[in-house]
Amino acid sequence: MNSPIRAAVKPYPFYVRSADGPYLRTVEGEELIDYVLGYGPLILGHRHPQVRKAVEEQLEKDWLYGTPYELEIELAKKIISHYPSIDMIRFVNSGTEATMAAIRLARGYTGRKKIIKFDGCYHGAHDAVLVKAGSAVSHYGLPGSAGVPEEVSKLTLVVPFNDVETVEKVAKENQDDLAAIIVEPVMGNAGVILPKEGFLKELRRIADETGAVLIFDEVITGYRLGIGGAQVRFNVVPDLTTLGKIIGGGFPVGALGGKREIMEKLTPTGPVFNAGTFNAHPVTMAAGLATIKELERGYVYEIANKAAESIVKVLEQEAVSKFGGVVNSIASMFQWFPKAEKVENYADAQKADKNLSLRLHEELLKRGVFIAPSMFEAWFTSAAHTKDVVERTIEAITEALKVL
């Protein structure tokens, strides 16, 4: 396997041969209802006909130019029209590349070195952000990563999510050298953790007061919480935004966008280097544009959010009432934190019973439902999670809970 969380399915990972709509089909011919959805990108479900059509049309024309072309501009314009923070955008190949470039850009723009990140937020697999990270880093209980020099890690200041006082204190103490505050506006890599009322606005204020660049990492939340992501939903405009997952329609992608004044510091107009052989890959741009056009029709959010709402209700009625805990949810993403009283930051999440969460994954898998094998991920729903699919899922949840 090629990404660590995939090995967390025990006793060994199942292998998939094909997928369609809400279903994964394993090599043994088993059909699984998928709530992982490629860890977030597939908000339309697997193999959506419009995405497939756009990709086939692009393949007809060729799949790599190494020059500018029209489709990348079309997708760029679309995203710029949806995201208030984005005047200019650069497409890269993963969320990792996006946050790596965004942090370098913030450093280049401010001439400062340090960044603030939040405990349990995951921003990809590069040195600056592998400090108290979520996702598979938490699942495997790692503090960060071996191989990251201490000299690099110490430039990353980690503070608790939803704690304005600590952010403000650390930001002001390091003001002269603080390049950026990077945050997942809704945490999606430590389960799902929502910002408290006003928290994101306070981050905006602290960034303004200290001259740090505010980066919203919307790799998960972008187009998932709605067309304009978290920034529109919570009405807070960051300086830079990173995107990924959904904007590539299931193909490798990342993007960073933001204020013109900052974005112009990127090469070739500025001195902060970014480049990529596969940046703005034609097949990805075709799939991303087709996906976003479907999202603009509205039905996707209606179905996906309704599916999430129904499952959340059942988890609250059946799982929480039997074992305690809380279900945190927004739009089409959610997570149950067994036995936790409230989960407002990563420390709270760690108090939940992650083994019980893992047991639910195991018992659901036996009943044809695939959720992430870690409490430090989210359940995702899609336009393919229609009423009958959700009803079958609810039956499986009810049965699984009986044996937990």
122 flagged as catalytic: yes
Q: How far is the CB of 99 from ligand PMP (least distance, A)?
A: 6
Does 234 sit near ligand PMP (CB under 6 A)?
no
Does 354 sit near ligand PMP (CB under 6 A)?
no
3-class SS at 16? Answer: strand
Please report which residue ranges of 83-228 form alpha helices under DSSP H.
95-110, 136-139, 150-153, 164-173, 199-210
Q: What is the DSSP letter of 316?
A: I
Does 184 sit near ligand PMP (CB under 6 A)?
yes
The residue (of 91 and 363) whose beta carbon lies closer to ligand PMP is 91
**Cβ atoms 187, 118 nearer than 8 A:** yes
Pairwise CA distance, residues 380 & 389, whole Å: 14
In the numeric block, the tokens 């950026």 are attached to: 180
Residue length of the chain: 404
Tokens standing for 89?
Answer: 């955008």
* Catalytic site residue from 245, 301, 348, 354: 245
Q: Choose which of 79, 115, 157, 220 interacts with ligand PMP (CB under 6 A).
A: 220
The residue (of 95 and 325) whose beta carbon lies closer to ligand PMP is 95
Q: How far is the CB of 321 from ligand PMP (least distance, A)?
A: 31
Does 241 sit near ligand PMP (CB under 6 A)?
no
Does 189 sit near ligand PMP (CB under 6 A)?
yes
Convert 47-59 to b/e letters by CB count within 10 Å (16 or more is b). Answer: ebebbeebbeebe
245 flagged as catalytic: yes
Does 122 sit near ligand PMP (CB under 6 A)?
yes
**Cβ atoms 211, 221 nearer than 8 A:** no
65 flagged as catalytic: no
* Catalytic site residue from 122, 223, 301, 346: 122
What residue ranges in 259-399 does DSSP mark as E strands? 325-330, 333-338, 369-370, 379-380
The residue (of 171 and 333) whose beta carbon lies closer to ligand PMP is 333
> Helices 164-173 and 199-210: crossing angle, nearest 10°?
10
Site string for ligand PMP, 141-180 (x = CB under 6 A): ----------------------------------------
Does 133 sit near ligand PMP (CB under 6 A)?
no
Q: How far is the CB of 279 from ligand PMP (least distance, A)?
A: 14
Pairwise CA distance, residues 193 & 175, whole Å: 27
Residues that bind ligand PMP (CB under 6 A): 39, 94-96, 99, 122-124, 135, 184, 188-189, 217, 219-220, 244, 254
Q: Which residues form the catalytic set?
A: 122, 217, 245
